[in-house]
Structure 1
Amino acid sequence: MRRFLILSLLAFGTASAAQADEITLAADVWCPYNCAPGAERPGYMVEIAAQAFESAGHKLTYKTMPWARALADVEAGKLSGALGASPEEAAGLLYPKQPLAQSRNMLVARAGDSFAWTSIKSLEPHALGTILDYSYGSVIDAYIKANIKNTNRIQVMGGDEPLKGNLRKLLAGRIALTIDDANVMAYELADQKLTEAVRLVDMGDAPSPLYIAFSPKLPQSATYAKLLDDTIVKLRASGGLEKILARYGLHDWETAKPAASAAGTNS
């Protein structure tokens, strides 16, 4: 799996304002899933959510904030949902049936670095840049937990755009590696024109689903989850999903692998 700027997308529904819910979704910036609020491309999960909720007459607000706070506020019922959540990292939230991505982790090293992945022990001689309260799967999560106090092995970045921070540290030589979702990494490297400066390292990670997850404290959450599920089915059948994803250089996650071609790879 996100700044307090707010995007209120145009409403397409016919329900009156008195009948509409205000649905607030949040996360740290994690393009292409959710990008900058107010941008021409706010993220494909945000666009799908807009179609689901605003066509039903609701008002959608999207804001960015640190991921740990977003998850806590959704769980407490202060926010409606979190974009790009997974049951592995936020088991207490309410999840739709339909995922909105298949996520796979990718390591990134500087272009001239000879690092090669063979097992989790490959990380031990290197400082790995991670993101506060992100889950990277059970193996990486256990490694982070075991080494969290050793800054020669683990360094943690917070804030609204932590991947940018980790990439700056990587290029400055303050860390040797960083890790994130393959689609997110490919999008960020292309956006910052860093594809020649770094090298992607494939760990052979199995994909795991990502969702827009809803608050267990809000009685409307089950309704929102079903609206989202129904919208995905309709968009996939109509070709609308592929049109949305094409704006971000992606294809349907049910048939496509996460992007890994923004920079050179090494397995």
Structure 2
Amino acid sequence: MRYSCWLIFIITLWFNNTASAVNELSLNIDTNRLPKTIALATTDWCPYLCQQNDHKTGIVVDYLNYLSTQLDITFIFHFYPWSRAIQLVTNNTHHGLATAIQSEAPNLKLTTVPTMTYKACFYVRNNSNWHYKDINSITDIRLGYIANYGYGEPVDSYIKHHKHAQHLVKITGVSAPQRLIKMLSSKRIDGFIADQQVTRWMTRLSQSQGNINNAGCLTPMPFYLAINPSLPWGNQLIQRLDNLLKNDKNQQYLQQMILPNYQ
């Protein structure tokens, strides 16, 4: 009888310890679950991300919000000057960047599947004869560009090694694309480099399409969502986003239901 009591005690103790270990493991798993709300820093980059438009939130905002319903999370978008947005995510004040390429955010972890692509082009006044031929032709004009923005190669490397050159005009702060257009119109610069869709959007809103010309473009570049690598659930988010971004039905939704709203 005494032996049976001890046996029951030992089995009960083992069961309690096992249950406790399972509970601890569950708690550890819980810490890696995606939070209900994820804060993404970004900049005003309409039509991809629109801060000052009452009717359009942006292609990227619409698409990520669509994908977030499949993850049972909510993305919150916070708008800053671009350099500030990168700094806030690097310092872990916000969880991630809504859009980025590796050269812009080398300390962050990017999805391996791109959200979509963008194309950087050169723009000049309509009476200019300048055209982008190769990287050496940049020296012929005063070129405006946005600080810490990734345009693609060979321009990114050129700016990095010639950022103090007088023919390169760097701008920072808010409303950078609009300011580049105004600087070109006022002849403070001879040209600027910017995304093709962004420039089309801005010139249409400002009714200045006829005042500037496209003077050549770089190769289209993919961009990604970026996350601070210190987040315990960051790898899980990236893995799940990668699966959604390469899903054919989601790509079809982007092409047929979102992009036509921004043409």
Q: Same fold (TM over 0.5)?
A: yes
Query: Distance between the aligned counterparts of 1:138 and 1:218, measured in 2?
Result: 30
Query: Distance between the aligned counterparts of 1:94 and 1:37, measured in 2?
Result: 29
Query: Distance between the aligned counterparts of 1:156 and 1:94, measured in 2?
Result: 27
**SS in structure 1 at match of 2:210:** coil
Structure 1 stretch 46-55 or stretch 232-241: which is displaced more? 232-241
Partner of 1:197: 211
Do residues 244 (structure 1) and 258 (structure 2) align? Answer: yes
Kept in 1, the 8 Å contact 2:245–2:251? The answer is: no
Kept in 2, the 8 Å contact 1:109–1:115? The answer is: yes
**SS in structure 2 at match of 1:25:** strand
Alpha-carbon spacing, 1:27–1:122, altered in 2? closer, same or farther (3 Å)? same
C-alpha displacement at 1:77, in angstroms?
Answer: 1.8
Alpha-carbon spacing, 1:69–1:34, altered in 2? closer, same or farther (3 Å)? same
Kept in 2, the 8 Å contact 1:232–1:241? The answer is: no
Do residues 23 (structure 1) and 38 (structure 2) align? Answer: yes
Query: Of residues 133, 143, 149 in structure 2, which corresponds to 1:118?
Result: 133
TM-score by length of 2: 0.79
Greater radius of gyration (CA): 2
Partner of 1:133: 148
Structure 1 vs Structure 2: percent identity of aligned residues?
24
C-alpha displacement at 1:43, in angstroms?
Answer: 1.0
C-alpha displacement at 1:65, in angstroms?
Answer: 0.3
Residue segments in structure 1 that go unaligned for 5+ positions in a row: 1-18, 250-267
Query: Distance between the aligned counterparts of 2:93 and 2:65, measured in 1?
Result: 20
Aligned length, in residue pairs:
229
Kept in 2, the 8 Å contact 1:111–1:196? The answer is: yes
Could you tell me which amino acid in structure 2 is paired with residue 23 of structure 1?
I
Could you tell me which amino acid in structure 1 is paired with residue 194 of structure 2?
D
Query: Distance between the aligned counterparts of 2:248 and 2:47, measured in 1?
Result: 18
TM-score by length of 1: 0.78
**SS in structure 2 at match of 1:84:** strand
Do residues 67 (structure 1) and 82 (structure 2) align? Answer: yes
Partner of 2:116: 101
Query: Distance between the aligned counterparts of 2:42 and 2:192, measured in 1?
Result: 20
C-alpha displacement at 1:150, in angstroms?
Answer: 3.1
C-alpha displacement at 1:225, in angstroms?
Answer: 1.9
**SS in structure 2 at match of 1:63:** strand
Residue deviations 1:7-63 (CA, integer Å, cap 9, x gap): xxxxxxxxxxxx952211111111121111674321111112212224433232111
Partner of 2:222: 209
Partner of 1:36: 51
Query: Of residues 118, 125, 148 in structure 1, which corresponds to 2:163?
Result: 148
Alpha-carbon spacing, 1:145–1:240, altered in 2? closer, same or farther (3 Å)? closer
Alpha-carbon spacing, 1:164–1:212, altered in 2? closer, same or farther (3 Å)? same
Kept in 1, the 8 Å contact 2:43–2:79? The answer is: yes
Partner of 2:183: 169
Residue segments in structure 2 that go unaligned for 5+ positions in a row: 1-33
C-alpha displacement at 1:66, in angstroms?
Answer: 1.2
**SS in structure 1 at match of 2:181:** helix
Query: Distance between the aligned counterparts of 2:202 and 2:225, measured in 1?
Result: 21
Query: Distance between the aligned counterparts of 2:221 and 2:210, measured in 1?
Result: 28
**SS in structure 1 at match of 2:124:** strand
Alpha-carbon spacing, 1:201–1:23, altered in 2? closer, same or farther (3 Å)? same
C-alpha displacement at 1:235, in angstroms?
Answer: 6.3
Partner of 2:24: none
Alpha-carbon spacing, 1:142–1:38, altered in 2? closer, same or farther (3 Å)? closer
Give 1 or 2: higher helix fraction: 2
Alpha-carbon spacing, 1:209–1:193, altered in 2? closer, same or farther (3 Å)? same
Kept in 2, the 8 Å contact 1:104–1:182? The answer is: yes
Could you tell me which amino acid in structure 1 is paired with residue 220 of structure 2?
P
